[in-house]
């Protein structure tokens, strides 16, 4: 790796403004007499005085500081230092010639209650200085990896890494795994650029620490993202070079606070594992933003007093037996929880920043299998199972998706701890496969903005613009993450290419061709050569093409000259005269949901769109209000239609795009044609028992919720008597309140013991069957064998399944199973109900 690049990224992680902080009148532990204690405002934020009432030391474990070294003669540090190593100059001791490592050491282990300087969080400890960085803060990943490995091999239990780089490294990833396998806890800073979490903090088993200000808000410079775990105070007063003391700030100062807290609790519980200490710190953090984990502050702000006084929980996410109790987790981290037994279900949700794939891997008793049900943000349900060490992928769309976990063995009665790792892969962009120039994706010769990804190793994206008219082109390449160092190449076919890489990680690159002529122009987008791994992030390629354009659809100024539009095909046009009008015509052959979209509208231009029927009677109108697009949509009967476009001012340097798209409707829905449940859906829709969504979709494969299922049954069986209900999560203004009150009166459904109803909780296949059975006044039968291979005789719904199966009202799968705990889809519910209704 380029040493210069590494220096820039490393220094960015631990330099900052020197801010002098005072805190008068603060009460700390009475026995601490260090004169600068009142300047250590961070200790008040993390409640160290209460923590010191429990313990002040850990001399049985070693904390390694992989950094610029430590001032070995500093009077406030020397008693707590043990032998380290200098990886830069092996013949010399690990003396600090920068100051950063000395700052970190003081936070962790400046001797406390010695009437000198500051107090470290640990008054007595064992700190191992490992010099892996040069005097100017530069270094390389090889030395960083050597430093971690040296610490692990020489007895350290905690390693502090107040440094970072944007590049993923397979080498460092292996080193991190080496430490995890040997039960060593790694704690790292997220970085200080207001961007994404840096490595090594971003690896799944490293405790990633961001920074908060004195008022408990995330510092805007603190890096955030999918991998953050907790935050700690950004500003500190600590030891400096020359035996001095100074103010410092940054996530580099936050990370050692978490490492010291880990040492305090681990010293009192030496039998615990590193992953349990990691989870304990998450468990006792103070929520700052949304409840549970979030991408800004992780699990919250470090609370050392709570860490030392609150008992460790095998499952900090309970209660999460239902979807409405689902707990937030990172889509890219390793966490730990437990099943209370085979009947326990654990619900989680995660927010995907882009479309892509989330991979799930379990560490669990090798004799156990975990059933996984994933509900995508789009509503699609996927069911899979995984054993110990097995990785299973799930496609996700941008937004919130839910995961339900349960042991396959429902009869298991003991507690089953598990760890699971979630990792995210960004989507393959729609321009692939375009990794070679001869495979270049052809873009239209107009101004446009596209988004792409580096979803695979050595990804390179080529684009071709076939220019037909002379003009100029300006190309701008930007990215939403510093993990991408964008490189831009521009070339006219047959001529020498120009490569643009003037900026650093995450910095926008641009290039202008002041004069272009007819012919093909190529653009290549890559990440810098050293960064050849897949990246979680997107780049944006903006092409500004200015040319004297000609409208290919003219003449179409009159309705009888209207350009015939093929559905699903884009049409480009201009309104280049003050009185210009563009007419288009399209035909719908059957009842359909139609969207008419005008996009790529130049800035400061308003386009007026008017829709007419075949007799030229006005039906609707729309205006973009200076946005770059507008649309009309709705249900269209078969026939011919016209679209008329005008503008507030002429333009000739950029073409607008018109697209008319049509989806035929079946039973009023655009997404059920050919679906196995189509007939039942149409039949119950016609009877006004079920309905779809506002965009003319039914979403047949989406899990049905308790509220939806109750409403359908209430309408199907014409329930009209209401019972007074009072659920803590259901207000009288809820859309399904009346239906639920009717179903409760009829004994079809009831709430949970905690006085909640869970209206958005998915219904399982067994619950679906039970709800229908109650609606039909069926109580089940005791005799006969269980009708499905996965239903035990003592299963609570066995009698109902016997009766419903015998009467032909329910069926199972081809393998003889019923899968009672699998979420029921909207189509399954409708199919079951349709079979029971006359």
Task: Kindly list the catalytic residues.
Answer: 67, 100, 252
Ramachandran sector of residue 303 (left: φ over 0; alpha: ψ -120 to 50; beta: rest)? beta
488 vs 569: CA distance, rounded Å: 31
Residue 353: how many other CB atoms lie within 10 Å: 21
| Angle at alpha carbon of residue 614, lines to 613 and 616, rounded to 5° | 65
Among 681, 635, 675, 631, smallest CA distance to 656 is for: 631
339 vs 657: CA distance, rounded Å: 54
Q: Which residues contact 10 (CB under 8 A, 6 or more apart)?
A: 133, 137, 138, 139, 163, 164, 165
Q: Which residues contact 195 (CB under 8 A, 6 or more apart)?
A: 223, 481, 482, 506
Helices (H), 168-250: 170-181
Tell me if 607 sits within 8 A of 598, measured CB to CB: yes
Among 669, 645, 668, smallest CA distance to 655 is for: 645
339 vs 321: CA distance, rounded Å: 10
822 vs 740: CA distance, rounded Å: 23
Q: How many CA atoms lie within 13 A of 175 on its CB side?
A: 23
Q: State residue 337 phi and psi, 5-degree precision.
A: -155, -160
For 715-736, the DSSP string reads: HHTT--------BTTB-TTSTT
Angle, to 10 degrees, between the axis of helix 251-268 and the axis of helix 3-14?
70
Burial of 304 (0-12, 13-18, 19+ CB in 10 A): buried
- Cα-trace Rg, the chain: 32
| Angle at alpha carbon of residue 56, lines to 50 and 62, rounded to 5° | 135
- In the numeric block, the tokens 């820039």 are attached to 8
- In the numeric block, the tokens 């015998």 are attached to 806
602 vs 546: CA distance, rounded Å: 12
Q: Which residues contact 42 (CB under 8 A, 6 or more apart)?
A: 107, 232, 233, 235, 236, 237, 253, 257
For 34-83, the DSSP string reads: -TTGGG-HHHHHTTHHHHHTT--EEEEEEEEEEES-B-TT-TTTGGGB--
Q: Is the dihedral of CA 762, 765, 771, 776 positive or negative?
A: positive
Q: Is the peptide bond before 324 cis (omega within 30 degrees of 0)?
A: no
Tell me if 390 sits within 8 A of 359, measured CB to CB: no
Secondary structure class of 604 (helix, strand, coil)? coil
345 vs 133: CA distance, rounded Å: 47
Tell me if 237 sits within 8 A of 247, measured CB to CB: yes
For 648-692, the DSSP string reads: SS-EEEEEEEEEEEEEE-BTTBSS-TT-TTHHHHHHHHHTTS---
How many residues does the structure list for the chain? 838
Tell me if 336 sits within 8 A of 419, measured CB to CB: yes
| Angle at alpha carbon of residue 240, lines to 239 and 245, rounded to 5° | 60
663 vs 545: CA distance, rounded Å: 33
User: In terms of DSSP bridges, do strands 399-407 and 369-375 run parallel, antiparallel, or are they unpaired?
Assistant: antiparallel
């Amino acid at each position: 790796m380029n040493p210069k690049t590494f220096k820039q990224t490393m220094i960015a992680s631990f330099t900052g403004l020197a801010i002098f902080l005072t805190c008068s009148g603060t009460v700390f532990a009475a026995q601490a007499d260090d004169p600068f204690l009142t300047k250590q405002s961070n200790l008040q934020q993390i409640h160290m005085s209460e923590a010191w009432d429990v313990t002040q030391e850990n001399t049985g474990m070693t904390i390694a500081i992989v950094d610029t070294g430590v001032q070995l003669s500093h009077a406030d540090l020397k008693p707590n230092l043990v032998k380290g190593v200098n990886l830069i100059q092996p013949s010399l001791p690990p003396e600090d010639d920068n100051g950063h490592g000395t700052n970190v050491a003081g936070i962790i282990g400046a001797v406390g209650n010695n009437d000198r300087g500051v107090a470290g969080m640990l008054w007595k400890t064992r700190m191992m200085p490992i010099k892996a960085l040069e005097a100017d803060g530069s270094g390389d990943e090889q030395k960083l990896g050597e430093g971690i490995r040296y610490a692990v091999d020489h007895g350290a239990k905690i390693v502090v890494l107040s440094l970072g780089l944007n590049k993923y490294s397979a080498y460092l990833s292996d080193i991190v795994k080496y430490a995890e396998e040997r039960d060593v806890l790694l704690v790292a800073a997220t970085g200080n650029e207001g961007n994404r979490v840096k490595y090594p903090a971003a690896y799944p088993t490293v405790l990633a620490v961001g920074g908060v200000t004195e008022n408990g808000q995330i510092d805007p410079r603190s890096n955030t993202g999918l991998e953050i775990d907790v935050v700690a105070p950004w500003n500190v007063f600590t030891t400096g070079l020359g035996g001095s003391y100074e103010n410092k700030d940054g996530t580099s100062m936050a990370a050692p606070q978490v490492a010291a807290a880990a040492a305090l609790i681990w010293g009192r519980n030496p039998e615990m594992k590193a992953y349990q200490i990691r989870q304990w710190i998450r468990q006792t953090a103070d929520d700052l933003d949304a409840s549970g984990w979030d991408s800004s502050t992780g699990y919250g702000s470090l609370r050392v007093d709570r860490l030392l006084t609150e008992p460790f929980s095998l499952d900090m996410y309970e209660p999460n037996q239902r979807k409405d109790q689902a707990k937030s987790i990172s889509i890219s981290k390793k966490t730990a929880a437990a099943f209370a037994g085979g009947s326990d279900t654990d619900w989680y949700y995660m927010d995907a920043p882009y479309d892509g794939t989330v991979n799930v891997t379990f560490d669990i008793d090798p004799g156990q299998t975990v059933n996984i049900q994933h509900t995508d943000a789009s509503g699609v349900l996927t069911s899979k199972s995984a054993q110990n060490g097995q990785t299973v992928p799930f496609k996700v769309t941008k937004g919130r998706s839910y995961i339900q976990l349960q042991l396959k063995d429902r009869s298991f009665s003991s507690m089953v701890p598990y760890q699971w790792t979630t990792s995210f892969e960004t989507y393959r962009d729609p321009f692939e496969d375009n990794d070679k120039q001869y495979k270049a994706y052809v873009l239209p010769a107009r101004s446009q903005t596209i988004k792409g990804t580096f979803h695979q190793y050595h990804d390179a994206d080529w684009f071709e613009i076939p220019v037909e008219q002379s003009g100029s082109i300006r190309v701008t390449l930007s990215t939403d993450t510093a993990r991408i160092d964008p490189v831009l190449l521009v070339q006219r076919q047959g001529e020498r290419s120009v490569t643009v890489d003037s900026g650093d990680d995450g910095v926008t690159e641009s290039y202008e061709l002041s004069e272009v002529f007819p012919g093909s122009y190529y653009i290549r987008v890559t990440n810098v050569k050293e960064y050849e791994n897949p990246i979680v992030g997107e780049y944006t390629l903006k092409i500004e093409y200015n040319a004297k354009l000609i409208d290919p659809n003219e003449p179409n100024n009159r309705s009888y000259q209207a350009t015939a539009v093929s559905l699903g095909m884009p049409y480009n046009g201009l309104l280049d005269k003050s009185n210009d009008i563009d007419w288009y015509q399209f035909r719908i052959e059957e009842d359909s949901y139609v969207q008419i979209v005008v996009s790529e509208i130049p800035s400061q231009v308003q386009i007026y769109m008017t829709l007419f029927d075949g007799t030229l009677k006005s039906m609707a109108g729309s205006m973009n209000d200076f946005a770059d697009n507008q649309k009309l949509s709705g249900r269209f009967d078969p026939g011919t239609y016209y679209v008329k476009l005008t503008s507030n001012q002429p333009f000739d340097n950029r073409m607008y795009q018109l697209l008319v798209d049509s989806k035929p409707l079946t039973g009023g829905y655009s997404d059920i044609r050919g679906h196995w449940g189509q007939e039942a859906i149409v039949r119950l829709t016609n009877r006004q028992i079920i309905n779809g969504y506002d965009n003319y979709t039914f979403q047949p494969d989406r899990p049905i919720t308790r509220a939806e299922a109750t409403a359908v049954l209430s309408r199907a069986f014409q329930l009209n008597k209401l019972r007074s209900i009072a659920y803590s999560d259901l207000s009288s203004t809820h859309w399904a309140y009346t239906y639920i009150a009717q179903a409760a009166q009829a004994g079809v459904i009831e709430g949970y013991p905690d006085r909640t109803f869970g209206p958005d909780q998915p219904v399982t296949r067994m619950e679906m069957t039970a709800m229908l059975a109650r609606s039909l006044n069926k109580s089940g039968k005791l005799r006969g064998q269980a009708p499905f291979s996965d239903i035990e005789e003592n299963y609570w719904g066995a009698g109902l399944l016997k009766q419903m199966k015998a009467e032909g009202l329910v069926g199972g799968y081809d393998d003889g199973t019923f899968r009672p705990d699998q979420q029921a889809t909207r189509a399954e519910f409708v199919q079951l109900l349709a079979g029971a209704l006359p």
